[in-house]
Amino acid sequence: MGYYYQDSSLFCEGLKVKDIIERVGQTPFYLYSAGQITANYRAYSESLVGIPSVISYAVKANGNLKILKLLRSLGSWVTLASGNELKLALEAGFEPEQAILNGNGKTLEELRLVIELGAIVNVDSEFDLIHIQRVAGELNTRAKVLIRVNPDIDPEVHPYISTGLLSSKFGVAVNEAVEMVKSLAGMQSVQLLGVHCHLGSNLNNIAVYQRALTVLIELFQIAKEVSDRVRYINLGGGWGIDYHHDNVKVPSPQELIQSIRWMIPKDVTLILEPGRSIVGNAGVLVCRVIGVKDRGDRRFIVVDGSMAELIRPSLYGAYHKAGFVEEVNRDPVRYDIVGPVCESADFLGKDRLLPPPNEGAGVAIFDAGAYGYVMSSNYNGRASPAEYLVYGDQLFQIRKREGFEDHLRLFDEREIL
Ligand code: LLP
C-alpha cells in the first residue's frame, strides 16, 4: 500500500521515488508514507473495537513531530522514554494525560516534569518508586503510576531488544511487584492505576503475549484490592513486522489482538504500546549508488547512506530488504551493500542478489521507518538526513537535513563561572 513497484519504478503512494530524488536533490534521506502509518494504526484500532483500550504509540521508534501530529489526529496516546520526548509530544498537541513515561533510569528532573503535568509514570524499581514519592511529595500532588513487572518470559528475540527476562535491567520481579502493589495501599503521594510489562521488540510469537497477560491479570486482581482507581493493564509494545518479505507469514496485530481478546477481564482498559508496527514499514532510507567495487571474491555496492543513518544492520545484524528505485534489467550478482563510513561494520545489507547498478542509481532500504532516524549519529562528520512525508501525491519536507552550521553551533566556547 505505501510502497510498490509499477512498470519497474518504485512508488511511495502516488509518487515515483525516482522523481522524489530529483525533486529533493540530496541523498540519503528518509521517506515516509502517511497512508501506511494510518493503515497500521487502524489495524490496531479496528481490531480493538469492543475492548476498552488505548493505543499508546512508542515515540522512541520515530519521534518526527509531523508523524506525532498525524498519530495524535488518529487518537493515539504516547509512550515516552525521556522527559524530552514528553516535551516533543506536548509540542505535537498531546495532552499530558495521554502520556506514559517509561524507563529504568528516570532522573528527578524528568519525574518533576512528568508528575507536575499529570502524565502516567511506569514504576521500574524500588528506587524509582522512592524517587516518584519524593517528587510527588515536593509538588504536593499524587503521581499516577503503573507498576512495570518483569514476568521472566523469554521473548526469543535478539538479546539487545529482549526485556522480558529477569536478566534484563527492566521492571520488578513478580513477587516484588506484589509487595510493591500492596505497599501502595493508602499512600498519599502515589495513585496506582494499573500494571505494565514490555517483553521485548520485534516479536511475533502470540503465546508469549498470552503468558505475559496471564501474569498481568493476576497482578491486576491484587492491585484492584489496593485501589479502586486501578483500571489499566499495559501489555507494552514489541509486535514485529515482516522485514524479509519472503512469504514466511508474520502474524498481524489483528491476529495478536484476536488471540488475547477472550482473556481480558471486563473491568480492564487494555493499553498497547506499539512503535515498530506503526511506523516501520512506512519508511524507507533512500540512497544513491556512489560506485560498485568488484574484487572477484567479494562485490560491494557502495551507497551514500550508511550505519550513521541506519544502524540496525550493524548493531543487531538486522535484515532490511534493499531494492533499486528503478528496476535494473541485468543478471543478478551477490553484493554487500555498504556505506562510506570508515568502519567495517558499516553495511546496510550482506550477500544480496542484485543486478549490477549504474552509478547514481537510487536505492531504497525498506522498513526503516522505526528505529532508523532516531538512532542516527554524526559519526564521521555525517549530517543528519532530511525526512519527507508523502500524502497521496503530495510531498512534504518534515525535517531539514542538518547543515554544517548546525554542527558548528554547539562548539560555542564559554567560560564556566
Ligand atoms: N514500550 C516500551 C516500554 C518499550 O521499551 C518499547 C521499545 C516499546 C513500547 C515499543 O516497542 P516496539 O513496538 O517498537 O517494538 N532499537 C531496537 C528496538 C528497541 C525497542 C525498545 N523498546 C531496534 O531497532 O530493533
Phi, psi of 237 (to 5 degrees): -110, -145
Extract the runs of DSSP E, i.e. beta strands, from 199-306: 232-234, 269-272, 283-294, 299-303
- Residue 164: the pLDDT is 76
Report the predicted TM-score, pTM, of the whole model to 2 decimal places: 0.97
Average confidence (pLDDT) per 10 residues, the chain, 417 residues: 95 98 98 98 98 98 98 98 98 98 97 98 97 98 96 81 81 94 92 95 92 96 93 96 90 95 96 98 98 93 98 97 96 97 97 97 98 98 97 98 94 90
> What's the alpha-carbon Rg for the chain, to the nearest Å?
23
Contact 322, 349 (CB under 8 A): yes
pLDDT at 96: 97
Domains contained in the chain, CATH given = 3-32+280-408 (2.40.37.10), 95-274 (3.20.20.10)
Residues with CB under 6 A from ligand 1: 58, 60-61, 79, 102, 161, 198, 201-202, 236-239, 273-277, 312, 316, 370-371
CA distance 138 to 94: 25
pLDDT for the residue 158: 82
- Measure 200 CA to ligand 1 centroid, in angstroms: 7
Half-sphere exposure of 3 (CA within 13 A, CB side): 28
Q: Is 195 helix (H, G, I), strand (E, B) or coil?
A: strand
- Closest ligand 1 atom to 315 CA: 24
For residue 152, the one-letter residue type is D
Catalytic residue list contains 12? no
CA dihedral 95→96→101→106, nearest 10 degrees, is 140
Separation CA 381–CA 96 (nearest Å): 37
DSSP, residue by residue, 303-345: ES--TTT--HHHHH-----EEESB---S--EEEEEE-SSSSTT
H or E segment to which residue 162 belongs: none
- Report the separation in Å between the CA atom of 237 and the middle of ligand 1, taken as the mean of its atom positions: 7
CA pair distance 244, 321, nearest whole angstrom? 6
Distance 372 CA to ligand 1 centre (A): 12
Cis peptide before 28 (omega within 30 of 0): yes
- CA dist., res. 112 & res. 127, Å (int): 15
**Dist. CA 193–CA 178, nearest whole Å:** 14
Catalytic annotation, pick one of 12, 197, 287, 342: 342
The three cell numbers locating residue 273: 504500546
Instruction: Quote the CA–CA distance of 88 and 119 in Å, as a whole number.
Output: 14
